[in-house]
Structure 1
Amino acid sequence: MIIPTKNPSSSDISCSNCKACCCRLEVMIISDTGVPEEFIQRDQYGGETMMRLHDGWCSALDRDTLMCSIYENRPWICREFEMGSDECLDERVKFL
């Protein structure tokens, strides 16, 4: 049995109606963009990722607006994650 998935049309794709799906992903910090220390989690080897809170979302996500509170200083990976890309659509389907 094939279960249909919800695939939004290109006109439906917008960060403003997404529920911050990409902000639930693990984000490695691989370059210095000025991410404030309070949002960084370091592992035992010194690897850095964006800290996520108990709700699973990135600690830099403003929970009221679902917008990045450090947008100008967001990690490189966040800068490269494009709205409407295959990766974006894959994440959106998980939460729609």
Structure 2
Amino acid sequence: MTISVKNLLDPEVKCSNCQACCCSSEVIIISDTGVPEQHIYVDMYGSESMLRLDDGWCSALDRDTLLCSIYENRPWVCREFGMGTSECISERTEKM
């Protein structure tokens, strides 16, 4: 029996009602996707992650629209994080 990924998604979660919960998670940069330097945090060991501001959210998140301001250059972790997947629902539940 094959289960479609579509059947695993929560149809109630859409871009229009997204609360950008995943944008407050730590995002390690593991490959070069063109993330602008001003959005990269480099720790004392040289590891790179997305910079988070004092409010805890990613610096690339537009606070007015809750959309990614560097969408075309977002890290691979963000590209792989699917809207409405179990990971998405888990983040939304945890942050609410």
Give the structure-2-normalised TM-score: 0.86
Q: Which runs of 5+ in 2 are unaligned?
A: 1-8
Once the 2 structures are TM-superposed, how far is the Cα of residue 10 of structure 1 from its aligned partner?
Answer: 2.7
Query: Which stretch of structure 1 is more off in the superposition, 11-20 or 82-91?
Result: 11-20
RMSD: 1.3
> Which residue matches 1:14?
14
Identity %: 66
Residues 10 and 85 in structure 2, CA contact (< 8 A), matched pair in contact too: no
Once the 2 structures are TM-superposed, how far is the Cα of residue 50 of structure 1 from its aligned partner?
Answer: 0.1
Once the 2 structures are TM-superposed, how far is the Cα of residue 86 of structure 1 from its aligned partner?
Answer: 1.1
Distance 1:67 1:60 in 2: 9
Aligned length: 88
Letter in structure 2 aligned against 1:14:
K
> Which residue matches 2:43?
43
Distance 2:50 2:31 in 1: 12
Show structure 1 runs of 4+ deviating over 4 A: none
Once the 2 structures are TM-superposed, how far is the Cα of residue 12 of structure 1 from its aligned partner?
Answer: 1.3
Once the 2 structures are TM-superposed, how far is the Cα of residue 84 of structure 1 from its aligned partner?
Answer: 1.3
Q: Which runs of 5+ in 1 are unaligned?
A: 1-8
1:67 equivalent to 2:67? Answer yes
Letter in structure 1 aligned against 2:54:
H
Distance 2:17 2:62 in 1: 15
> Which residue matches 1:87?
87
Give the structure-1-normalised TM-score: 0.86
Trace 1:18-29 onto structure 2 (pairs within 5 A): 18-29=18-29
